[in-house]
Structure 1
Amino acid sequence: MSDTQVLLSGLAFGESPRWHQGRLWFSHWGTNEIIAVDPQGESEVVAHVPTSLPFCIDWLHDGRLLVVSGREGLLLRQEPSGELVTHATLSHLAPIWNEIVVDGRGNIYVNGGAFDAPGVIALITPDGAVRQVADGLAFPNGMAVTPDNRTLIVAESHATCLTAFDIDADGNLSRRRVWADLAGLAPDGICLDAEGAIWYATVPGMCCARVKEGGDVLQKIQLDRACFACMLGGEDKRTLFMLAAEWHGFEHMSGQERSGQILIANMPVPGAGWPYE
């Protein structure tokens, strides 16, 4: 922890961090809030959402905020007035929805499933069509798309690996493969850097680690609590934001304890790919 600093504390559970317009935006699970925090640690609530958890965020290319309303099976869109409206309905494909990434072509990927059922990935195309493009995932979590829009990488928490798919010209996913075996450490949120490595957060490992394709560990930052998500951002995209909290099981996620933190560390390799502003 010697190379990290606390940017923000007193949170419930921070998830889905995104660097956007000079601030880190994140979903504050358990409070129905989306919060943005600047590099000096000044924060504000920028939106309220109709679900407590899970909910995750990204943006359309025209700048409108997207919010996955997980238990309702909806992808919401924030209009200029601030109103959240339905962008797409996903409940017919899976009961609960989780992470989102919008690629450079405007395709929206959302993953979901349930604790007792295989997970799926849905595609929402720029024209609004919705279809399932992957299934059989072991509790899918964070996702990232390479800068060339040709590869989607998803964290399979219960399989303790990162899985890659080719992205076809029509947005479909193919050629599924293990991108990195994480040796029993369940990955949660992930992000890409400019050297093609992945940073992943892990709850049981209480760390944030950088791995290259094949699974070799390039760097690890050990924390004193579970790490749920990470994002490279800042003016030069070299600040690693790590969202961490003490973990006592799903049944206590909505309790009164506020052990959540956002920690930061400077990295030599900047972020790349999607999600990005």
Structure 2
Amino acid sequence: MTDTTTVLTGLHFAEAPTLGPDGHLYLSDFYAHEVLRVDVTDWSTTVVATVEEQPSGLGWLADGSLLVVSMNDRRLRRLDPDGTLHDHADLSGVARGSANDMYVDQQGRAWVGDFGFDFYGLLRDEPDADPLFGPDADPPTASIALVTSDGTVTRAAEGLQFPNGMVELSDGRLVVAETVGKCLTAFDVDGHRLINRRQYADLRTAGPGGAAVLPDGICVDAEDGIWVSDPAGSGAVRIAGGEVRERVSTSQPCFAVGLVGDQLVCCTAESSNPNVAGTRRTGRLEVCTVTVPGP
């Protein structure tokens, strides 16, 4: 078990740590409504965009534009290299509830998951509820939307149990973290569709002491090992060949991971609940050195 070092504090709730083409790390701070650029030489931050409806997944187009999921109005925004923010696509025809994490491939296709229901509305009505894992929780399934580089939106897959982080393996498979499903799920990519769905890794007993890993954000390394954030276990695990190969321990729940060279970047926070994380700046970036670097 490897421990992390905290390099940045004062965040609300960081998500989607993504290495940009300029060599900087980018991330969304949900409840600050900000997209941040992080200089990994000294971990200083710059706000590059404000997204009032809450930013989440990030990814780049070939022209250097940054795509940003705008969660609560279910839109995809595009930040041009000159700093101008535009609407890129309307996801409301596919997404139910808030839009969420995203992967943008080399063809400029954006794969975007959603919550499947009004998660934040339920928390407004019942601040102490657990709509995903509480004793009475029965969340509906959700979809993955495909957004082409011209902004066209189609439904690529459905019936997922809270789709979250996504990565592409070297053979072209797309792997999705199903948080409520406690698993990683693989698809083949067939143009605008995700097909041949199958389980990539069962995470029901992959956490410390045989507990379940509830996968949130994920990232992939140069050997197709998938790092999976484990908020319930306050850490992250590396999955290769369907099995846990390494573990990292964080100071508090870990909700997203990214790789910058041989540094695993963990986004941690006291809680993901907006009634907690939205009012307190307990979010951190924590890092550790891993044996296999990023791709």
Structure having the higher strand fraction is 1
Query: 1:59, 1:248 → 2: CA distance?
Result: 25
Write the mapping of 1:31-46 to structure 2, written as runs, cut at 5 A.
Answer: 31-39=32-40, 40-46=42-48
CA shift at 1:119, angstroms?
Answer: 1.0
Runs of 4+ in 1 over 4 A off after TM superposition: none
Q: Residue 243 in 1 paired to residue 270 in 2? A: no
Query: 1:75, 1:58 → 2: CA distance?
Result: 11
Residue 160 of structure 1 aligns with which residue? Answer: 182
Match of 1:180 among 201, 207, 216: 201
CA shift at 1:84, angstroms?
Answer: 1.6
User: Structure 1, unaligned stretches of length 5 or more?
Assistant: 273-277
User: What amino acid does structure 2 have at the position aligned with 1:34?
Assistant: V
Q: TM-score when scaled to structure 2? A: 0.85
CA shift at 1:59, angstroms?
Answer: 1.1
Residue 14 of structure 2 aligns with which residue? Answer: 14
Aligned residues between the structures: 264
Distance 1:161 1:64, change over 3 A: same
Distance 1:127 1:258, change over 3 A: closer
Distance 1:106 1:156, change over 3 A: same
Query: 1:251, 1:164 → 2: CA distance?
Result: 33
Query: 1:223, 1:6 → 2: CA distance?
Result: 9
Residue 229 of structure 2 aligns with which residue? Answer: 201
Match of 2:283 among 250, 256, 260: 260
Q: Is the 8 A contact 2:57 2:103 kept in 1?
A: no
Q: Residue 218 in 1 paired to residue 218 in 2? A: no
Q: Is the 8 A contact 2:64 2:81 kept in 1?
A: no
Match of 1:142 among 162, 165, 168: 165
Q: What CA deviation, in whole Å up to 9, does each residue of 1:47-66 have, x standing for no partner?
A: 111223x5221111110011
Query: 2:215, 2:31 → 1: CA distance?
Result: 21
SS of 1:72's partner is: coil
SS of 2:284's partner is: strand
Write the mapping of 1:24-103 to structure 2, written as runs, cut at 5 A.
Answer: 24-39=25-40, 40-52=42-54, 55-94=56-95, 95-103=97-105
**Identity level (%):** 40
Match of 2:256 among 205, 225, 229: 229
Query: 2:293, 2:13 → 1: CA distance?
Result: 26
Q: Is the 8 A contact 1:104 1:147 kept in 2?
A: no
Residue 275 of structure 1 aligns with which residue? Answer: none
Moved more, 58-67 or 109-118: 109-118
